[in-house]
Amino acid sequence: MIRIENICKSFDGNVVLESISHEFYPGKTNLVIGRSGSGKTVLLKILVGLLQPTTGKVWYDKVDFSTLDKKQVREVRMQVGMLFQGSALFDSMTVEQNIKFPLDMFTNWTTKEKLDRVNYCLERVNLEGVNTKFPSETSGGMQKRVGIARAIVLKPRYLFCDEPNSGLDPKTALLIDELIKDITYENQITTIVNTHDMNSVMEVGDNVMLLSGGKIAWKGNKSEIIGSDNEVLQDFIFASPFLKRLRVAALEQQKTKEGKK
Amino acid sequence: MNFNLFYHFGRYVSMMGQALTKPEKFSMYWKETVRQMEAIGVGSVIIVVLISIFIGAVSALQFCYQLDGQLVPMYYVGYIVRDLAIIESAPTITCLVLAGKVGSNIAAEIGGMRQKEHIDAMEIMGVNTAAYLVTPKVVAAIVVIPLLVTIAAFVGIIGGYLASVPAGYLTDMEYMRGLRAYFDPYNVTIMYVKATVFAFLITSISSFYGYYVTGGSIELGKASTNAVVIGNIFVLAGDYVIALLLT
């Protein structure tokens, strides 16, 4: 579990996050949603230690992340996997070398053991036979899947995904969502996903936190979204007239069902 | 450009402090060091040879011109070209050229990795990025640049020979006599001290500018330029300090 307590972050006096406290549970896809500029990425960078909060604490289970020295931070990070918005695959390495990199760096496994693990991870993300391709020779969706394979290769306890669906078509985005959800459930890891993709929220949002203007505007899960009367949430989730009509229809359907009962 | 010298120096020391720590896995660092040796060393041989041959040739011709008709014997041309190559032109000019070629390359490579979030990705894996990205480059340069400087010294002397002897400014015997005259092995020590110090300065300064790059492609271009300019200034300042201390 990851717990954050009163996280505040400001850059040159400009407040980006204000008193954020929340718990992210293992075995669940924890979503941080919000409009662009709401502070999602800053929060994610604070969670993984790439940025220091102005005030507040981040707990990885019982470990206070903010009190660790650089060596201890690296030890915690070896239990962390992260999928970046732009995948962050190393251009000069093949897909196989990209996924194998953490194994080369941190394990003493034999070459065969490493290759078996790489192939297992590739199989897990439904990408087989692309070992020798370079990232530039693969599509955006494939790069995301390679990113996920690299993130899970060391069997992390915590998985972070920054906008995993950005730039992907709806079908591929759904595939990535399902993959993240399955991996989370299978391995009972604590997954935190930053997204503003509504399909993701409704598909995999076990534990959702909405950020608006650097503050928590709403907390809940995907089944509570449609019925919620939180204006910020409704403005964000059902931003387009089409989605607003869908919501009205869904609520009417719900009322009809309840009336029949 | 931020001219806060203490701020930049503090960040440079902090980066080098992180870089000079125990590697997570020696074999990975060794592999990267060998890759860098090839990039810095093999990749720079041609330009070093070309520059050195012309510098040797120009030095010889200039001294032939200046000593012609003087009381100084012509074999002094060989002696001057040899010592000039060993003490100054081979280490300093070669490293100024390498600060441009290797320095800009390193700043762009590391800066590009910063911008594409490769460095963040490595950090999150638990890699000490300052160590993994900087140390192999510094170690490779400290091994390879003195070798390049050795080549530069030899080629410079050959350049001097080719420009002066076949053209008839002095005889083969005179040039050879000059090369053998008043040889002090201590000058070779100075050459290697210079080459090692300059190798460290070029790679660490350019790594620093790449490692802390922020923004987009314009900032990356600026970082690359700064790496070359500041690298050159430090090579020349270092040249002066070494000359002051060792001669």
pLDDT for position B24: 86
When pLDDT is cut at 50, 70 and 90, the band that residue A261 belongs to is low
Query: Using CB atoms, which residue from A81, A84, A105 is nearest to B24?
Result: A105
Pairing of strands A2-11, A14-24: antiparallel
Q: Which residues of A touch B123 (CB under 8 A)?
A: 50, 77
| pLDDT tens digits, one per residue of A18-44 | 999 999 999 999 999 988 888 899 999
Q: Is residue B2 part of a domain?
A: no
DSSP alpha helices (H): ranges in chain B? 5-19, 26-40, 45-67, 76-83, 94-115, 118-125, 129-164, 172-180, 186-211, 217-246
Q: Provide, as residue numbers in chain A, all residues whose Cβ is less than 8 Å from the Cβ of B28.
A: 104-105
Q: Range with the lowest mean pLDDT among A104-118, A198-212, B203-217?
A: A198-212
Give how far the C-alpha of residue B193 lies from the chain's centroid of Cα atoms, to the nearest Å.
12
Residue A7 maps to a domain: yes
What CATH number does the domain containing A219 carry?
A: 3.40.50.300
Q: Distance (Å, rounded) from C-alpha A180 to C-alpha A125?
A: 9
Is residue B203 within 8 A of residue B234, CB to CB? The reply is no
Half-sphere exposure of A205 toward its Cβ, with a 13 Å CA cutoff? 24
Q: Is A123 in CB contact (< 8 Å) with chain B?
A: no
Q: Which of residues 98-117 of A touch B (CB under 8 A)?
A: 101-102, 104-106
**Location of structure tokens 């036979």:** A129
Size of interface A-B (CB pairs under 8 A): 52
* Angle ∠(B131,B132,B134) on CA atoms, nearest 5: 65
pLDDT above 70 (res B65): yes
| CA of A63 vs chain B CAs: smallest distance (Å) | 17
Of A85, A105, A154, the CB nearest to B28: A105
* Alpha-carbon distances of B215 from A18, A87, B115, B222, rounded to whole Å: 25, 19, 7, 11
Higher pLDDT residue, A248 or B148? B148
Residue A68 touches partner B, C-beta closer than 8 Å: no
Q: Does residue A79 contact residue B155 with C-beta atoms inside 8 Å?
A: no
Residue A45 distance to chain B (closest CA, Å) = 10
In a domain, B13, yes or no: no
Q: From CA A56, how far away is CA A7, in angstroms rounded?
A: 4
In a domain, B4, yes or no: no
As a whole number, the mean pLDDT across chain B is: 93
Per-residue pLDDT at A203 exceeds 90: no
Give residue B156's Cα distance to chain centre: 16
Lowest mean pLDDT among A163-172, B5-14, B216-225: A163-172
Task: Answer whether B127 touches A (CB < 8 Å).
Answer: yes
When computed from its CA atoms, the radius of gyration of chain B, rounded to whole angstroms, is: 21
Indicate if the pLDDT at residue B21 is higher than 80.
yes
**Selected residue with higher pLDDT from A201 and B129:** B129
Please enumerate in sequence order all residues whose Cβ is within 8 A of that of B43, keeping only pairs 6 or more positions apart, or say none: none
Look at A48 and B124 and tell me if their CB atoms are within 8 Å.
yes
A68 found inside a domain: yes
CA distance A33 to A40: 7
pLDDT for the residue numbered A172: 81
Domain interval for residue B150? 26-246
Over residues B112-122, the pLDDT tens digits come to 999 999 999 99
A232 vs B69, higher pLDDT: A232
Cα separation, B181 vs B166, in Å, equals 21
Q: How confident is the model at residue B3 (pLDDT cuts 50, 70, 90)?
A: low
Domain count, chain B: 1
DSSP secondary structure, A6-20, as one string: EEEEEETTEEEEEEE
Query: Considering the domain boundaries, does residue A144 fall inside one?
Result: no
Under 8 Å between Cβ of A59 and A65: yes
Rounded Cα distance between B17 and A144, Å, is 34
Distance, in Å, from the CA atom of B80 to the CA atom of B170, rounded to the nearest integer, reads 14
Q: What percent of chain A has pLDDT over 90?
A: 51
Evaluate whether A135 touches A95 at the Cβ level (below 8 Å). yes
- Residue A239's pLDDT is 74
Q: Which pLDDT value is given to residue B175?
A: 92
- Does residue B216 sit at the A interface (CB-CB below 8 Å)? no
Cβ–Cβ gap A88/B123 under 8 Å? no
pLDDT of residue A246: 78
Give the range of the structural domain holding residue A202, as residue numbers without chain letter: 2-79+156-226
Scored b (16 or more CB within 10 A) or e, A18-48 reads bebebebebebbbbbbbbeebbbbbbbbbbb
Are the C-beta atoms of B69 and B103 separated by less than 8 Å?
Answer: no
Q: What is the pLDDT of residue A242?
A: 79
Distance CA B58, CA B55 (A): 5
Cα–Cα distance for residue pair A119/A95, rounded to 1 Å: 11
Domain count, chain A: 1
Tens of pLDDT, residue by residue over A115-136, are 999 999 999 888 888 999 999 9
Is B19 a member of any domain? no
CB B56 within 8 A of CB B178: no
Asked if the structure places residue A28 within a domain, the reply is yes
Q: Are the C-beta atoms of A13 and A46 separated by less than 8 Å? A: no
**Rounded average pLDDT over B171-187:** 92
Q: Are B144 and B40 in contact (CB under 8 A)?
A: yes
Residue B109 pLDDT exceeds 90: yes
B39 interface with A at CB cutoff 8 Å: no
Whether residue B126 and residue A48 make contact (CB cut-off 8 A), yes or no, is: no
Q: Are A24 and A219 in contact (CB under 8 A)?
A: no
Q: What average pLDDT does this structure show over A90-95?
A: 94
pLDDT, average across residues B181-198: 94
Tell if the CB–CB gap between B123 and A77 is shorter than 8 Å.
yes
CA distance A115 to A100: 8
